[in-house]
Structure 1
């Protein structure tokens, strides 16, 4: 290729990257304008100033999207004049991982963070036509303030467009653990959930500034909370699935600090979602709902701090930089502390109007909220206790899965027991006996299934039967709740039910499936660890396993030691599995690639280890019943959320309809 053409191409790449940097600066400036002008306009009741919010939100998103696209282009084209590309990419890397390398690092992931902040702001500007103008201006102003903080953080401490004076011939590659499809899509979904909670926070702070929370506010905040919860569900599920098949340890959840950092906002978002229903339906729990909105986003910021500060070590952590961690801690303190201070000042304005009895759906939702909030607090204490113990007492402690399993599980058991009854009991005042009678067949069937499981297992714990009972109880309760809504019309009306009803039932069924799958997998899985000799069969759980050969192969950017394992049962071939150990020469890092035979009711999971002096190979084999049901349950929960979001009632501002009927401006 002529030198002139190469030079022109390099100049074009250089200009795109520089334009991306300028676009990021412009987005920062626009965010400052959006933060200040609409808020002043709302306070002074100046329509022109309030109207700035909508075009500013859209412009901020467009410039941020351009900046993100420019960084992605640098990764795709292997532009090694950009320091971030040098540190996190390589010319031989597959294209998918070049793209995901954009956010597979601290600086790029923070740019993704502000992109999603601006995306939600632009979406609120475009879909918030039914919002009162002053509330809309304040919501977009608060959302912009969040963007301003993180734009400043990126530009002054974590600039992704930093150049190198002498571009190297090639890059240093992306962390091999991140070179996986599950991890390629995990961060964007997780961030859509994390950052999506910023909208609920913005609505809460705007309502506190106005001093008014009503049923319309509850209707407006629910879709944003639901969307964030759905994306967070997908992100957590993808991360769990990745840990299951990529890390080679055979588990799906380790109570790792970064896992907990995403799980805590998920619990609070679920509580917020149910609490907002009470605000919308009964105009009760206003103060609690506002507090949950503040805490849910606050825990998202705590998660960002944990991942990036180096305070807690994790395989998932992006950075180990205490100085940048302090900046994030300051952002956390300003936004969460400021919102809580405003909440304390305005608490008296959050007067509840709805009155309800002890036996009512409102009370059930209060219990739901308390269980979710306390379980979140338990996870929070367990996650940070090692740091507290070291700072306060000078002792190094480790809080692992046994603590979390023992402390967290009882709250989920209580939640599972309560959920079917709480979902069917009437609003305001109900009779527990009538609701329980409607659920009698579901309870008896769940109990019968648990008894059957107990009779079939031998010498094992109650965990499996209890998990089956809880999962079946939640699932059958959701189905009976759905059927009860058809009235006398029966099946004829079932398909005409609102999508929100179908969404609620689907999400609850997904939770039931997940509860059963986790309990069943934990109680009934089988494990075998041995030195396998090539050609010598051995048995695990009724399967004949034979290590036929071990071969050396070369991948696009790695070297592989691959085992060939033949699996038979009753003389018939079940599968041929190929577990691997890979070495990435650029990153100088090994990885373990488990081989899994996925089936509906079980997974056969094989990991190959190191060669032994006697010619054998270390091999671990697991039989994992109902493993796929865990992620199937998560998929059902997410599907339920999407079904509810597709309900037209979620997309129409309740306040606009109510006020227009009375002829009163929605102000």
Structure 2
């Protein structure tokens, strides 16, 4: 009966979502407090029923209930317990259930923690969230029901896709969905503001924590997905410009722009209309990413669904929400009062510059990702847009953005002194120049752009440190005074510094791994040694191992440096009999922030074994930098000003502020 309970719980959640979508909206229109409060209780109960539905599917997987079609197609009784849990969302139907679970969680969080929101705004936000929920509940129930039964329960399941039998499945999709779905709150706030016809600095204060949380989850989700692909696929790459990877990058870029735009709106009551548009676009791009993954338009290791019916349904959701939101924006945005003015050389101006380049970069990725699909659907011609296009168009856009980044935090609001800021950044510029020159000298001048990238990364990192030093008056006041001022700095200031420094760290890792990484693809016999970048790799033979639901053929290798052993590596090939599939499991050996990477190829007729041996200098900085960025987000999110939210206005303003 458990699957039936899960199914009916989802139906009840749909019913509650319909109530939440209509009643609070009507209550906000009529100013009926009781009807508006109903939105909070239905949002919380909706989450309870979705959680019950998700728990029912999880129980079916854990107990290997193969009478459920979804469990039969994606599980096996001998799978480790952790993979039985992760199999719940390792398929299309289960992943969509995880999507609505997170959607309901965010809606319930607004209901529970939005006590300081104006009643009408809260009611409208919860109503918009419910309309989104209704569409996805209907999508699941009509096209992707995870609780369908088989007439007769098979004795064994077909097993989960071997590529997905990895701890990465436990981390990457939930974090990614928390980011994707988290932007729905910013979207709902934007639509609610357009419905109400009022937007002010308090609105920006309310929307920032939700946007920041979504951005933080998406940052870590993309990072963990990159690391998962890096070690799982056996190619040694960390980013392939795969269309589905791009689908996650686009909302991240829009969300980053939204965070900075919301700061300007909160501090200076400016960029109102632009901030509303970014809030709509961030979630719209998340929906487009969902369409690309779930519709069958793309064939990728990331995609689950290939049913065109589902694609048509999701396309209808896109038209409804993106088209409807942009139509409402075009109608209501001109009626919103414009914000304050500021000089081009100011912190606001720097943040506008930031937004300009982020949105252009997002547009570049959007065109490069969707143009081949549109061309193929219209003309039947197939073209490939890959790394060369994105490296030539996307990368140059980030150079001026990163140069401007340290200036933005040091410029004053409204009107800044560019020359004075440049003087304060001379130390960071000096560090960047020294790093560039040292890299050029160390590499013999073989590359020009790469040392510049290293210098730029150091400039960004030390620019963030100088911002902190200026705020605490380091070296201008006694050390005790500076330390006292440091402890009194708002956490959002520390968060900004960490986030910016993390970008610099990631840049250094990307440049080093991409430019100076080395590789050898060779065939070795037992006892032979391969040398790469000062490391000696000796092949010691093969060994057979039996896993819980696979057989594994593993290689044994010893790694030496300067004649001394520094570690062992054991890459393998796993064969999953139930799926008749094989996977390649790479072996990693970290040396500081660098890594040795080894994967197995095929055995040759002469008894030798093909291997791929890579040296990835400072590659770990790529993911360490993203974790530093996320830590900065945590610090900012813990700032009391964001946790408490904006104070309620002392005097109610008119519902619609007409532009004069």
SS at match of 1:551: strand
Distance (whole Å) between structure 1 residues aligned to residue 609 and residue 579 of structure 2: 25
Q: CA RMSD in A?
A: 1.2
Equivalent residues in 2 for 1:118-129 (5 A)?
Answer: 118-129=104-115
- Of residues 593, 600, 604 in structure 1, which corresponds to 2:585? 593
TM-score, normalised by the number of residues in structure 2: 0.97
| Contact 1:178/1:184 (<8 A) preserved | no
* Cα offset, 1:664, TM superposition: 5.3
> 2:51 matched to which residue of 1?
65
Match of 1:587, SS state, is coil
| Structure 2 partner of 1:5 | none
2:616 to 590, 601, 624: 624
1:557 aligned residue = 549
Residue 236 (str. 1) matches residue 228 (str. 2) = no
Deviations 1:24-48 (A, max 9, x none): 1111000000000000010111111
1:468 aligns with 2:460: no
Whole-Å separation in 1 of the counterparts to 2:593 and 2:42? 52
Change in CA separation of 1:666 and 1:623 when aligned onto 2, cut-off 3 Å: farther
Is the CA contact (8 Å cut-off) linking 1:467 and 1:520 kept in structure 2?
no
Which of 638, 641, 649 lines up with 1:646 in the alignment? 638
After TM superposition, list the pairs within 5 Å mapping 1:135-534 onto structure 2.
135-458=121-444, 460-487=446-473, 488=477, 489-534=481-526
* Residue range with higher mean Cα deviation, 504-513 or 344-353: 344-353
Separation of aligned partners in 2, 1:480 and 1:462: 27
Deviations 1:443-467 (A, max 9, x none): 1111111110111102522233112
- The alignment covers a number of residue pairs equal to 649
1:538 CA displacement = 2.2
1:475, distance to aligned residue in structure 2 (A)? 0.5
In 2: Cα distance, 1:203 partner to 1:351 partner: 17
Q: Which range moves more in the overlay, 380-389 or 244-253?
A: 380-389
| Moved segments of 4+, more than 3 Å | 662-667
Decide whether the 8 Å contact of 1:463 with 1:520 is kept in 2: no
Mapped partners of 2:171, 2:638: distance in 1: 23
Matched, 1:92 2:78: yes
**1:12 corresponding residue in structure 2:** none
Q: Distance in 1 between matches of 2:351 and 2:155?
A: 60
Which residue of structure 2 lines up, in the alignment, with residue 7 of structure 1? Answer: none
Match of 1:584 in 2: 576
Residue 18 (structure 1) aligned with residue 4 (structure 2): yes
Secondary structure of the residue that 2:612 maps to in structure 1?
strand
Does the 8 Å contact 1:463/1:523 carry over to 2? no
Cα distance in 2, alignment partners of residues 665 and 90 from structure 1:
60
Q: Deviations over 1:546-574 (max 9, x none)?
A: 11101222111111111111111111001
- d(CA) in 2 for partners of 1:111 and 1:499? 35
Write the deviation string for residues 83-103 of structure 1: whole angstroms up to 9, x where unpaired: 100000000001011000001
Q: Deviations over 1:290-347 (max 9, x none)?
A: 1111111000000000001111221110111121011001101100110100000012
Residues 603/463 of structure 1: CA separation in 2 closer, same or farther (3 Å cut): farther
Shift of 1:665: 8.9
What displacement does 1:193 show?
0.3
Match of 1:651, SS state, is: helix
Find 1:608's aligned residue among 579, 589, 600. 600
In 1, Cα distance between equivalents of 2:553 and 2:239: 27
In the aligned structure 1, how far is the partner of 2:402 from the partner of 2:483?
Answer: 27
User: Does the 8 Å CA contact 1:183/1:238 hold for their aligned counterparts?
Assistant: no
Q: How far apart are the structure 2 equivalents of 1:390 and 1:103?
A: 31
> In the TM superposition, what is the alpha-carbon distance from 1:666 to its structure 2 partner?
11
Q: Does 1:115 align with 2:107?
A: no
Contact 2:272–2:339 (CA under 8 A) maintained in structure 1: no
Conservation of the 8 A alpha-carbon contact between 1:534 and 1:547: yes
The Cα shift of 1:483 comes to 1.5
**Conservation of the 8 A alpha-carbon contact between 2:538 and 2:558:** yes
Cα distance between partner residues in 2 of 1:665 and 1:367? 32
Inter-partner Cα distance in structure 1 for 2:2 and 2:439? 62
Verify the 8 A CA contact 1:28 1:148 in the aligned structure 2.
Answer: yes
Separation (CA, whole Å) in 2 of partners of 1:394 and 1:601: 46
Deviation of 1:539 (Å): 1.1
Distance in 2 (CA, whole Å) between partners of 1:409 and 1:349 is 38
SS of residue matched to 2:88: coil
Structure 2 SS opposite 1:566: strand
Q: Secondary structure of 1:405's partner? A: helix
Query: By how many angstroms is 1:350 displaced?
Result: 2.6
SS of the counterpart of 2:602?
strand
**8 A contact 1:31–1:145 mirrored in 2:** yes
Structure 1 residue 604: Cα displacement: 0.5
Distance 1:353 1:514 in 2: 35
Contact kept, 8 Å, 1:241 with 1:252, in 2: the verdict is yes
The secondary structure found in structure 1 opposite 2:613 is strand
User: What secondary structure, in the 3-state scheme, does the structure 2 residue paired with 1:538 have?
Assistant: strand
Number of the residue aligned with 2:658? none
- The CA deviation string for residues 477-532 of structure 1, in whole angstroms up to 9 with x for no partner, is 11111111114542331122111111111111111100111011111101111111
Write the distance in 2 (CA, Å) between the matches of 1:666 and 1:561: 72
The DSSP-based 3-state class of the residue aligned with 1:654 is: coil
- Check the 8 A contact 2:143/2:309 in 1, yes or no: no
C-alpha distance in 2 between matches for 1:618 and 1:477: 46
List runs of 5+ in structure 2 lacking aligned partners.
Answer: 656-660
TM-score scaled by length of structure 1: 0.96
Give me the whole-angstrom Cα distance separating, in 1, the residues matched to 2:218 and 2:376: 31
**Counterpart among 564, 567, 577 of residue 572 in structure 1:** 564
Q: Retained in 1: the 8 A contact 2:271–2:339? A: no
Give structure 1 stretches of 5+ with no counterpart.
Answer: 1-14
